[in-house]
Structure 1
């Protein structure tokens, strides 16, 4: 039962007495209010409380989930000198108890028991806290959340524990090349710029000192920097705006206003005298990258112009005549992105990020020569109003037809954006691009010159003469040599401005709905090798739609060679289509070819107006086999490099990959796939493509703003790629089946100091009851598992208990990555937690968990894409009534506490179906027990029965 503040009930009662009283009690918003999308049915109200805390209220009557986020304009760039990681450490500590709610785990338990989740992040300039929860419990959640910023305890008992959590996060990232590159970048930054400070924190930077403990410094930091006037709060709930305001005002008006000014950072990020600068560094992964950055002014206040978006779209374009097209033609680069990166009050960086081929890594000067030649061409051509208006039109369409998204993600983004957008533009600010300022666009292009460049080149062949402090990265720095213009006569001829975009939607009218509207997708066409499901959208009513096609073939799923070749084929096909289709992606359409368990999936989505043209061109190229030897070789090497780089992934992620390989019979490890790719030649791939299509069949879903005539059009296009005759039988999809009381231990070698234990506990079967019991178990144990093993025992930063179904076969996954304990100690802690769950569970808690899970299962789809995913998954599972969510919810509803306690004791304690994948780390100790130790995923699969996927 929800607890409601009696004072709020009294206010609601008084306001309900009469219409006149209601009008009097309503709080009329003061000042400009946010302009919303015509497609947005939320109601909004912008307030500024007496303490200058700006609040955006969002009312969505009937919403199942509520959410809130608070953004404070303080981040790691504000860390005190010598206290690296302070802002990040403070973010951790705020979750661990307040004066009103002193229990360190109470906030997390309350959120979890009422169907919610929570998190936070610390960036250089901001810290953002957010949660979601079942809508009825928003008042209580808002109260708990507010106390973070009113009266946190900063309990001394948790200081050392949370320092260890920060240290674990730091240790976990030691092999992240993104963090390693940032470490080097911060070392070459101007030390007077606050962004040059290390941001994560370590036990050393957060250690007590003779003159002050870390807690003293943290409390001082909080009391100095956390002020209501630099906070922004966004709250979304099912209550009316008046009710939301009545909830928020009395709570958040208590946050202290220290009247902090908005300070401009005068120090340059890179000392101008040091530019142009070349920095070379050695990554851990087999990767070759180049980032070319240019210090520029801070244009965030110019969001109606968006100069960074305009220039970034030009430099990052991938169509004909683009910089990327030229780089790819010369075999130098595999990807390119461009846009504003770091930004602060006083400046920003505009950056180009490139991944390079082996040939490109050997010719960094040529790459830079082409980059600067393209920028020079843009300056000579000057800003183009027609191109600006084209981008503006696309932005306007995106806002006009904005669809709802995750409530928690939405409020988090809004709270962050409120720091920069004017009141009327809080909702449309990211989309506004209406003020064409040629001088401002030209100004930005002036900064993109060789003399203003910071180049960071990453390659394993680099031998640096310096080592970075925190991540021990070998690097060197030297002045960037002068860059002569290209001497090739054809360079300026091949690199040019993009052509007008033929894919921009012109007709955004909604199709008429049929009188007999189907409630679920129906099979609108079926032949020997085709089945097409169709459903017009009657709920979201936007001029968008999806066409999903699954091309199934027996040439997938049997061997590692097949898996390698189909993945290589889809990569080459995507690469071939990219130059043509890139403008379609800019115009709000999307497409992807990807390997799946049974074949190749083509997903096409976005505005429906020009989709048929795009689909036609995609399918015309699908069966082509005339790939160039250079692109074949480059893409194959890139795929091999990506597989080799799995060693640089987070250790817990690598262990979960090994678990999935052991569970899924059409899954192979990195080394096997590497060998298969190395053995594949271009002629082999050509033969594979021909064989794939000879045996292929297609199942499609057409859902959205389409007339029924689209079914025949798609079918005709499919006829062009599918052979006639009956479709060949497909190999079955199989999942490992563990027996009751069976415990397998699978030790794996991960090159990292941390120990990792991934303990998979399979359900008793694959019935709806088994799925419901397992999902409910995950719901019940997840918050307690995190609280006990992470917060209380401090075993590591990565700690979680998850519902882990594979192909509808239910399972639990308990996962811990620990820098402080060996794998044996981790497994004992897991075991102790699991055996202690049922004695602590009360009937009311059980009911709350059950209600939370049912609410999550039945959560309404927020947009057309989510609904399409539900339909597509149902089709893949052969749930042709599309009622899987309702069936699952009913199965959960039927479970009693006694039912669940018995199932839990039998299946997850007494007769476990267990697979434990363990990376022992530097301590080298494995968990002890009655395990069958198996040395490979292949050996596990070879000796077991299987579940057959639907």
Structure 2
């Protein structure tokens, strides 16, 4: 079953192409109570009066629409320079955030310097008049536990950061100065041109970016969206009549103007204080009275519609996409047309999986894996896009004509019979429930989303734009559907075997485009008549009971066990008193007033009486993946209905079957019981079983087609999965498996298991007890009994207990090379309980050390290898765990150097970093330490996040649930000498376990791997595992 799609996102989804047409540069890191609405208005009025007393800015009269459950204060002001700034005061915020955005992007690139907007985004952050150091912003943020990012899309550019509130003033000052007075130093030009080039080279392994370029080459060539949007060394250079540096400065001077810029400042401080801060920082950006260029050219001409685009993906995708360009959607911050949600309505019906629908019928016939639709209305400034995206099975790949006919048949059914008030009311209800009980996030995604909405929506709707919905407009929906014809469609055929006659510029993406012939259209119209669909049924699981079962007096710090005797008493099921059950629950600490819960159920396997053979272990791994996939097919309709109703399910294996659910509690346990029962009883057909096998092979192939740096990381991520089997071995084993094997294995998941459950949120002990009673009754043999015979299996773990230096190499198939290196302190193996406790304490200390070390050296690594040496775009340091041991990792993807050369740069950096660490003063060290502690102490932003902090302990059988507090204590106790000693001993010393994972790219003729006798070359991960110590957890 894996994980069902969350429908509230699904019905609001943007198309694959639209979602991936922005470029971002990651600079730092990989990685509620109801209030009375009248009280909110009154508090906003008071705040408005207070801040309007200062005449250097104007308080906008627009009231920001927000959920009654959102107790944050929002106030929009306009500075004297014309910039609109949204101030958000959140007393619960532990960190502050800032955003600046402008409505200029790649659509505005000059033809002779394509990618200039993206290049300028890079250059702006490379030092300013007041803060000239190129890496000064990122280093300042890191010291205060922060990070930042920037991105360039077709129609806008965004800059944003997060930081501990104590650093907010200077962070805003730094960002404002970068925008108001960037150095745009020519000495940084080649560095950033190379960075942009490396970023776009990296994008060659992302199908969304590749398809975006193909799209650019198949639309109206006179529309600015047809240009190369990202930039590279060829497009960004001096040319006759166009000097890059002078054009860059001209572009900045023309477009970086405060009058149409927007900003967001998010902080626990009151809006009165934030207004002054906005004026002191953003207020000094110059107003140049700039205007957004008007695009008059249509995005597509007649000859650009009614076409088939054959595209060869880098991933083993099998997809069909039907897109319609929407010429009547323009960016207009005064328009309220978005409130009608017409595209959302159509998307909702297309993706609906109820009996007889398009989605359910195509899935039941084994033609598709999934179907969803969505719109992006603003991406091209004067036109939007509506896209229907279909993941095909092998059978469906051979039946694309039938599927296309089915889609147009269904669109016609919606047009003639499906534009109904009842469906609109259901969509409205889903959106309203989400509005009444929002997930209140406090991160960079949230504030950058606010800024984005400020550029395209009326200011009063920047918070509720996704959920606000007006009245049913049948004529508008009909008009949109009437435009969804074959003649207006651009149909993408996506698979590895597509015919192609062209290669997309720089992305190296094979494709071709041809007009849909009259014969093809006639064939589809004939095939349309063979399909008969039903419109969706209304969803019976939408919540209408939002009762809260706890109050603040019942909050506890961590999950507490519900004893078997209490479960038996509450459920009136005496058998539970002696059952192998471990149940833990707690009301939410952070979301006590939300009618939601997060529940995790695991059927823990006992320790095996006899070890399985390697072949049996491998078969079981494959069979679980197959059974989980097939359960997803069997449970599709119910899972979809749950998703619409705000309930998400996922299933996976962790020393036993794990089923998790989160959402509104009214129907949560009822749906979880239904899904679990069906999981335990589904019987696949031979066709479905073969479909599952093809799916599994596709997953194996997909794992080989990821980005180069992800390929380099794979051995490090999989070495601690015990046992690990190579992909080729699993391919061979897959062929021998039968339906009987699968059913026998699936049945074994529910036999003789220990039942363990963790509940966080709005579920009472009685509700949990009754659920367990029903679950016990549903199993043929019931839950296993307690006793000496049952000892739960918590898996086996790798122990890195001897100093070694391991090298794994692989030749890649794309231009870029990659190198990943991880260094671990060794650990002594012991089974003694006291020593085991000492080991856990040591592991926590090492986790704390590596996380703090990473905060310190990450910007150094980025500045040295990316900014100075220009080795690549994707490069990171990261705290890394192998098994339960923590070390430090270094990672880079490069389009100019081979792995052996990259290791030379790594080693040089290690020496330099050691020297800088030795010179680090205690005051600076304390800043980094405080920043990390601020991150660790940050309250959970969602109920799921709150529950997740306890799940690692839950799965390991550590029922004191103290991993987080132990880590925080370990960070508090760290000294500068601890961090310096760890780096010197683990990275530079000899008493360590080190792994190099090297991937050679094709840019150079000959692979160059590290040639050093100190490194022992190992063929693959399974071979490495066979040489390591393994112990039972």
* TM-score bin, normalised by smaller chain: over 0.9
Structure 2 CA distance for partners of 1:931 and 1:485, relative to 1, 3 Å: closer
Aligned to 1:750: 812
User: SS in structure 2 opposite 1:482?
Assistant: helix
Contact 1:39 1:403 in 2 (8 A): no
How far apart in 2 are the matches of 1:604 and 1:175? 33
Q: Does 1:725 align with 2:776?
A: no
Bigger shift: residues 509-518 or 816-825: 509-518
Bigger shift: residues 426-435 or 279-288: 279-288
Contact 2:103 2:292 in 1 (8 A): no
Aligned to 1:128: 158
- How far the C-alpha of 1:715 sits from its partner, in A, is 0.6
Contact 2:579 2:783 in 1 (8 A): no
How far apart in 1 are the matches of 2:255 and 2:515? 38
Contact 2:405 2:528 in 1 (8 A): no
After TM superposition, the structure 1 = structure 2 runs for residues 728-877 of structure 1, keeping only pairs within 5 Å, are: 728-729=790-791, 731=793, 733-739=795-801, 741-765=803-827, 766=839, 767=842, 768-840=844-916, 841-877=920-956
User: SS in structure 2 opposite 1:463?
Assistant: coil
Structure 2 CA distance for partners of 1:945 and 1:262, relative to 1, 3 Å: same
Structure 2 CA distance for partners of 1:223 and 1:384, relative to 1, 3 Å: same
Aligned to 1:573: 631
After TM superposition, the structure 1 = structure 2 runs for residues 888-899 of structure 1, keeping only pairs within 5 Å, are: 888-899=967-978
Q: Identify which of 576, 594, 598 aligns with 1:546.
A: 598
Q: Identify which of 994, 1003, 1007 aligns with 1:924.
A: 1007
Contact 2:307 2:489 in 1 (8 A): yes
- How far the C-alpha of 1:160 sits from its partner, in A, is 0.4
How far apart in 1 are the matches of 2:53 and 2:947? 45
Contact 1:858 1:885 in 2 (8 A): no
Structure 2 CA distance for partners of 1:340 and 1:508, relative to 1, 3 Å: same
Q: Identify which of 417, 432, 436 aligns with 1:381.
A: 417
Contact 1:733 1:948 in 2 (8 A): yes
How far apart in 2 are the matches of 1:287 and 1:931? 38
Q: Identify which of 475, 482, 495 aligns with 2:521.
A: 482
- Deviation sequence 1:461-510 (CA, Å, 0-9, x none): 222223322233332222223145666899664x1221111011111121
User: SS in structure 2 opposite 1:623?
Assistant: helix
Contact 1:574 1:592 in 2 (8 A): no
After TM superposition, the structure 1 = structure 2 runs for residues 502-541 of structure 1, keeping only pairs within 5 Å, are: 502-513=540-551, 517-526=555-564, 527-537=578-588, 539-540=590-591, 541=593
How far apart in 1 are the matches of 2:745 and 2:869? 53
Aligned to 1:231: 261
Structure 2 CA distance for partners of 1:430 and 1:836, relative to 1, 3 Å: same
User: SS in structure 1 opposite 2:878?
Assistant: strand
After TM superposition, the structure 1 = structure 2 runs for residues 284-433 of structure 1, keeping only pairs within 5 Å, are: 284-296=314-326, 297-298=328-329, 301=335, 302-341=337-376, 343=378, 344-433=380-469
- How far the C-alpha of 1:770 sits from its partner, in A, is 2.1
How far apart in 2 are the matches of 1:537 and 1:731? 29
User: SS in structure 1 opposite 2:891?
Assistant: strand
Q: Identify which of 870, 887, 902 aligns with 2:966.
A: 887
Aligned to 2:490: 454
How far apart in 1 are the matches of 2:242 and 2:381? 31
Aligned to 1:560: 618
- Deviation sequence 1:305-350 (CA, Å, 0-9, x none): 1111111111122222221112122322111110114633322111
Contact 1:738 1:914 in 2 (8 A): no
Structure 2 CA distance for partners of 1:289 and 1:488, relative to 1, 3 Å: closer
Structure 2 CA distance for partners of 1:30 and 1:454, relative to 1, 3 Å: closer
- Deviation sequence 1:341-374 (CA, Å, 0-9, x none): 4633322111101111122112221111001000
- How far the C-alpha of 1:730 sits from its partner, in A, is 5.1
Aligned to 2:995: 915
- Deviation sequence 1:759-813 (CA, Å, 0-9, x none): 0111344512222222222122111111111111111111100011244321211
Aligned to 1:208: 238
Structure 2 CA distance for partners of 1:107 and 1:347, relative to 1, 3 Å: same
How far apart in 1 are the matches of 2:466 and 2:368? 30
- Deviation sequence 1:883-938 (CA, Å, 0-9, x none): 32222122122122223322332232213321111113334112243111111111
Contact 1:234 1:415 in 2 (8 A): yes
How far apart in 2 are the matches of 1:475 and 1:201? 21
Q: Identify which of 771, 776, 779 aligns with 1:714.
A: 771
Contact 1:749 1:920 in 2 (8 A): yes
Structure 2 CA distance for partners of 1:85 and 1:689, relative to 1, 3 Å: same
Structure 2 CA distance for partners of 1:928 and 1:842, relative to 1, 3 Å: farther
- Deviation sequence 1:841-891 (CA, Å, 0-9, x none): 222221111111121122111232221111223322444333322221221
Aligned positions, number: 928
Aligned to 2:283: 253
How far apart in 2 are the matches of 1:593 and 1:613? 17
Structure 2 CA distance for partners of 1:299 and 1:682, relative to 1, 3 Å: farther
Contact 1:553 1:693 in 2 (8 A): no
Aligned to 2:504: 468
How far apart in 2 are the matches of 1:945 and 1:238? 50
Contact 1:741 1:910 in 2 (8 A): no
Contact 1:745 1:916 in 2 (8 A): yes
User: SS in structure 2 opposite 1:419?
Assistant: helix
User: SS in structure 1 opposite 2:70?
Assistant: coil
User: SS in structure 1 opposite 2:175?
Assistant: helix
Contact 2:752 2:784 in 1 (8 A): no
How far apart in 2 are the matches of 1:285 and 1:489? 31
How far apart in 2 are the matches of 1:322 and 1:600? 31
Contact 1:764 1:770 in 2 (8 A): no
Bigger shift: residues 108-117 or 777-786: 777-786
How far apart in 1 are the matches of 2:889 and 2:229? 31
How far apart in 2 are the matches of 1:182 and 1:275? 17
Aligned to 2:675: 618
User: SS in structure 1 opposite 2:446?
Assistant: helix
Aligned to 1:104: 134
How far apart in 2 are the matches of 1:486 and 1:254? 61
How far apart in 1 are the matches of 2:555 and 2:496? 60
Q: Identify which of 69, 79, 89 aligns with 2:119.
A: 89
Q: Does 1:192 align with 2:222?
A: yes
Q: Which has the higher contact order (CA 8 A, sep 6+)?
A: 2
- How far the C-alpha of 1:150 sits from its partner, in A, is 0.1
Q: TM-score of the superposition, structure 1-length normalised?
A: 0.94
Segments of structure 2 that go 5 or more residues without pairing to the other structure are 1-48, 565-577, 828-838
- Deviation sequence 1:261-281 (CA, Å, 0-9, x none): 345433222212443111212
User: SS in structure 2 opposite 1:68?
Assistant: strand
Contact 2:104 2:292 in 1 (8 A): no
Q: TM-score of the superposition, structure 2-length normalised?
A: 0.86
- How far the C-alpha of 1:42 sits from its partner, in A, is 1.4
How far apart in 1 are the matches of 2:587 and 2:522? 56
User: SS in structure 1 opposite 2:811?
Assistant: coil
Bigger shift: residues 342-351 or 571-580: 342-351
Bigger shift: residues 478-487 or 609-618: 478-487
- Deviation sequence 1:504-540 (CA, Å, 0-9, x none): 1111121244966543211114453322212123541
Bigger shift: residues 293-302 or 204-213: 293-302
Structure 2 CA distance for partners of 1:938 and 1:53, relative to 1, 3 Å: same
Contact 1:368 1:483 in 2 (8 A): no
